[in-house]
Amino acid sequence: MTQSVWHASGYNAAQIRELAIFFGLLLTAIFLIVEVVALLVLRRRHRGIQQEPLEASHQPGSGTESKLRTVVGISTAVTVLILFGLTILSVSVGKAVTASVAPAGSLKVEVTGKQWWWAVRYASDDASRVLLTANEIHIPVGRPIAMKGEAEDVIHSFWVPSLQGKRDLIPGRTTQEWLQASQPGEYRGQCAEFCGLQHAHMAFWVIAEPADQFQAWFDHQLQPAVEPTDEETQRGRAIFLRSACSLCHAIRGTDAAAQVGPDLTHFGSRRTIAAGTLPNNKGNLAGWIADPQTIKPGTHMATVAIQSAEMQPLIDYLESLK
Partner 1 sequence: MRYIAVGCCLLTLIACKREVREVRPSPAVSGILGDAGAESALRPAGEMAHQNIVNPYEGNAYAISEGQRLFNWYNCSGCHANGGGGIGPPLIKKDQRDWIYGGEPSNIFDTIMKGRPNGMPTWGAKIPEYQVWQIVTYVRSLSRLEPKSATPARSDTLEQKTSTIRPDEKGAAH
Partner 2 sequence: MTPVIPEQHAHADTDTLRRTWRTKPGFIGWLSAVNHQDIGRRYIVTAFMFLLIGGIEALLMRLQLAKPENTFLSAGRYNQIFTLHGTTMMFLFAVPVMEGMGIYLVPLMIGTRNVAFPRLNAFGYWMYLAGGLFLYGCAFFNMIPDAGWFAYPPLSGPQFSPGKGVDAWAQMITFTEVSALCVAVELIVTILKMRAPGMSLNRMPMFCWSMLVQSFMIIFAMPAVMIASTVFLLNDRTLGTHFVNPAEGGDPLLYQHAFWFFGHPEVYIIFLPALGMVSSILETHTRRRIFGYPALVLSLVGNGFIAFGLWVHHMFATGLPQIGEAYFTAASMMIAITSGVQIFCWLATMWSGRLHATAAVHFVFGFLFIFVMGGMTGVMLASIPLDLQAHDTFFVVAHFHYVLIGGALFPLFGGFHYWFPKFTGRKIDETLGKVSFWILFVGFNTTFFPMHWLGLVGMTRRVYTYIPGLGWDYANLTATIGAFLILLGGLTFIANVLRSRRFGERAGNDPWQGSTLEWEAQSPPEPYNFPNLPVVTSRTPLWTPVSERPIVIGMREDRREVLITKVLDAEPHHRSVQPPPTLWPLLTALGFGIGLAGSIFAFNWYYLASLLGMIGLIGWFWPRRPLEVEQ
Q: Could you say which residues in the range 283-322 bind partner 2, by CB under 8 A?
A: 297-298
Per partner kind, with CB cut-offs from 5 to 8 A, the member of partner 1, partner 2, none near residue 283 is none
Cis status of the peptide bond prior to 288, with omega within 30 of 0 = no
Beta bridge partners of 132: 121
Single out the residue of 305, 307, 308, 309 in contact with partner 1 (rule: CB under 8 A). Answer: 305
- Please, which residue, 199 or 252, has the CB nearer to partner 2? 199
Helix (H) or strand (E) holding 157: strand 156-158
Question: With CB under 8 A as the contact rule, which of the stretches 44-52, 201-209, 228-236, 241-249 interacts with partner 1?
Answer: 241-249
HSE at residue 228, side-chain half, CA atoms within 13 A, is 20
Q: Distance between CA atoms of 94 and 89, rounded to whole angstroms?
A: 8
Q: Could you say which residues in the range 74-133 bind partner 2, by CB under 8 A?
A: 75-76, 79-80, 83-84, 86-87, 89-91, 93-95, 97-100, 115
Per partner kind, with CB cut-offs from 5 to 8 A, the member of partner 1, partner 2, none near residue 260 is partner 1
Give the SS3 label for residue 280: coil
Q: Could you say which residues in the range 68-127 bind partner 1, by CB under 8 A?
A: 95, 99-102
Per partner kind, with CB cut-offs from 5 to 8 A, the member of partner 2, partner 1, none near residue 83 is partner 2
Report which residue type is found at 201. H
Helices 62-97 and 11-43 pack at an angle, to 10 degrees, of 170
Question: With CB under 8 A as the contact rule, which of the stretches 64-72, 120-128, 173-181, 222-230 interacts with partner 1?
Answer: 173-181
Report which residue type is found at 283. G
Contact status: 247 vs partner 1 (CB under 8 A):
yes
Q: Could you say which residues in the range 188-207 bind partner 2, by CB under 8 A?
A: 188, 190-201, 203
Q: Distance between CA atoms of 176 and 189, rounded to whole angstroms?
A: 17
Give min distance, CB of 149 to partner 1, in A. 11
Q: Could you say which residues in the range 7-66 bind partner 1, by CB under 8 A?
A: none
Helix (H) or strand (E) holding 95: helix 62-97
Single out the residue of 23, 25, 223, 281 in contact with partner 2 (rule: CB under 8 A). Answer: 23
Per partner kind, with CB cut-offs from 5 to 8 A, the member of partner 2, partner 1, none near residue 305 is partner 1
Contact status: 293 vs partner 1 (CB under 8 A):
yes
Q: Could you say which residues in the range 31-70 bind partner 2, by CB under 8 A?
A: 31, 34-35, 37-38, 40-42, 44-46, 50, 53-60, 64-65, 68-69
Q: Could you say which residues in the range 192-221 bind partner 1, by CB under 8 A?
A: 197
Give the DSSP per-residue string, 219-261. Answer: HHHHS-PPPP-SHHHHHHHHHHHHSGGGGT-B-BTBS-B--SS
Beta bridge partners of 16: none
- Taking residues 153 to 172 in sequence order and writing x for each that binds partner 2 by CB under 8 A, - otherwise, the string is xxx-x-x-x--xxxxx-xxx
Given a contact cutoff of 8 angstroms between Cβ atoms, the answer to whether 196 and 161 are in contact is: no
Q: Distance between CA atoms of 284 and 292, rounded to whole angstroms?
A: 10
Q: Distance between CA atoms of 185 and 142, rounded to whole angstroms?
A: 12
Residues contacting 182, CB < 8 A, separation 6+: 9, 10, 11, 14, 141, 142
Helices 308-320 and 282-290 pack at an angle, to 10 degrees, of 130
- Please, which residue, 80 or 130, has the CB nearer to partner 1? 130
Q: What are phi and psi of 190, to 5 degrees?
A: -145, 150
- Please, which residue, 106 or 284, has the CB nearer to partner 1? 106
Binding site for partner 1 (CB under 8 A): 95, 99-102, 153, 171-176, 197, 242-244, 247-248, 260, 293, 297-300, 302-305
